[in-house]
Amino acid sequence: MKHFIVQNPFISPKELNLSETAWNDSSSANPTLPLNGLRLAVKDLFHMAGLPTSAGNPTWLATHPIPAKTASSVVALLNNGAIFSGKTITDELAYSLNGQNIHYGTPSNPVTPNRLPGGSSSGSAVAVSSDLADIGLGTDTGGSIRVPASYNGLFGLRPTHGVIPVDNMVSLAPSFDTVGWLTRDLFTLERTANTLLKNKPPKEFNNVLIAKNLIDQVAHVDELKTQLKAWREQGLLPSESSIVIDTKAWKTSETFRTLQGAEIWQQHGKWINSLDSLEGVFAPDIQSRFEWCQTISEAEVATAKQQRQRFSNWLENEIEGAVLIIPTTPGLAPQFDAADEELAAYRNQLMDITAIAGLAGLPQLHLPVCTLHGAPCGLSLVSSKGTDLALIEFAKRLME
C-alpha cells in the first residue's frame, strides 16, 4: 500500500523529502473492526509519528521538528480498521476558507473544476470527492469542514466543540478548533462518528426550526425551499417553526473573526516574529490576515467575548430539544478567477453563517441535497451540544 500518493490533493513524498514507506501504520484487515478497509486521508495539520507536518507552509515545515507522537484521533481511526492513504493539502496554517495553496498547489474540485474546492480541509475533501479516500479527516475552526463539504457535494460534520481531543496537531484558534470529517455517504460518516465520539444513545428532537431569513438570502434559495417542501410532504418535518437569526445584529462574523484572530496571534505570533523575513513565506491574503491579527486590542477581545456569550446563551435556549436548519454557505463555490475583492466580500458573508455554530460550539452537519448550475450546494442541521449522534440519526431519516 502506498502511504503517500504523488497526486493532487495529497502531499507528495518528493515535496516532503520522504520515501513512500516513511510511515507504516499497524492496521491490518480485520472484518470485525468498524472501519475495516476504509481509506483515510489525513489533513496535514495532524501529527503522525515520524512524518513531518507542513501545515500547508514550507517555512513551517523547515522550522519545526518531525513529530514523535500521532494525534489520538488518527490513532483511533487506524485502530478501528481505517487504512492510511496519505496526508492532504491544507490552506496555510488552516487560515482560509478557499482551499488554495500557493506552495503545494490547489486541489482541483472534481465536481466543478472551474470553482474553488473550499478550505482549509480542501485536500481531504477533494480526496474523498475524487474517490481516492473514504474518510477525509480534517479540522473545522471557521467552517473548514462544512464549506468544502458544500463545494464538493459531500457530507461533513463539525462536532460539538471539545468532544474530540485536538492533541498532537497544529492549532489555529483553540476555543473554536474541532476535529471533523467528510464522507460521500452518511453510513460512513456515522461509522466514523461512532469511533471518535462518545457513543451516547441518540435522543429524539421535538421540533424543527428553520432559519427562513437566512435561507431567503442565499443564491440557492429556490433549491432549498424545494427540498424542504419535499420533506414536509413526506412527513419528515412533522413539527416545524421558523426562527430568525439576525447575523448582522448579532455581529456573528465580526465577533468570530476578532476572537479567532486574537487566538491565532497567541498561537503563531511568536513564530512569525522569529522569522528573519516574511518575503515569500505566506500568500498575500494570508499574510495580511496575520498582520491584522496583531492589531486586535484587548478591549476588542473583551467586547467580542461578551457578545459571544450573549449570542451563545440566546441560541442554545432557542434550539433546546430541536434541530435547526440553516444554509451552509451563501452560495456556490467561487470561481477560480474571482477577484480578490469579491472573495473578501464573500468570505464575510460566509462567516456570518459559519460563525453561528462556531461561536456557540454546536454540532453542525452539512447535507449535499441540491445543485445549482451544475455545482453542489445544500443545507446544514445544527443542534445542541452533545447531540452529534442524534443529529446524524435525524439526517439519516431525511436522506432515506
Residues recognised as catalytic? 43, 120, 144
Beta bridge partners of 322: 207
Identify whether the C-beta of residue 366 lies closer than 8 Å to the C-beta of residue 121.
no
Cell of 178: 474541532
Cα 256-363-217 angle, rounded to 5 deg? 60
Of the candidates 125, 130, 163, the residue with the CA atom closest to the CA atom of residue 145: 125
Identify whether the C-beta of residue 370 lies closer than 8 Å to the C-beta of residue 220.
yes
Identify whether the C-beta of residue 383 lies closer than 8 Å to the C-beta of residue 322.
yes
Identify whether the C-beta of residue 351 lies closer than 8 Å to the C-beta of residue 303.
no
Q: How far apart are CA 272 and CA 275, in angstroms?
A: 6
Residue 36 CB partners (closer than 8 Å, separation 6+): 29, 30, 81
On the 0-12 / 13-18 / 19+ scale of CB atoms within 10 A, 22 is middle
Which DSSP helix (H) or strand (E) runs through 210? strand 207-210
Identify whether the C-beta of residue 394 lies closer than 8 Å to the C-beta of residue 381.
yes
Residue whose entry in the numeric block shows the C-alpha cell 433549491:
223
Q: How far apart are CA 348 and CA 124, in angstroms?
A: 24
Q: How far apart are CA 76 and CA 179, in angstroms?
A: 12
Q: Quickly count: other Cβ atoms within 10 Å of residue 113's Cβ.
A: 9
Residue 397 CB partners (closer than 8 Å, separation 6+): 236
Q: How far apart are CA 267 and CA 263, in angstroms?
A: 6
Nearest-10 Cα torsion for 212, 217, 218, 221: 50
Q: How far apart are CA 20 and CA 162, in angstroms?
A: 34
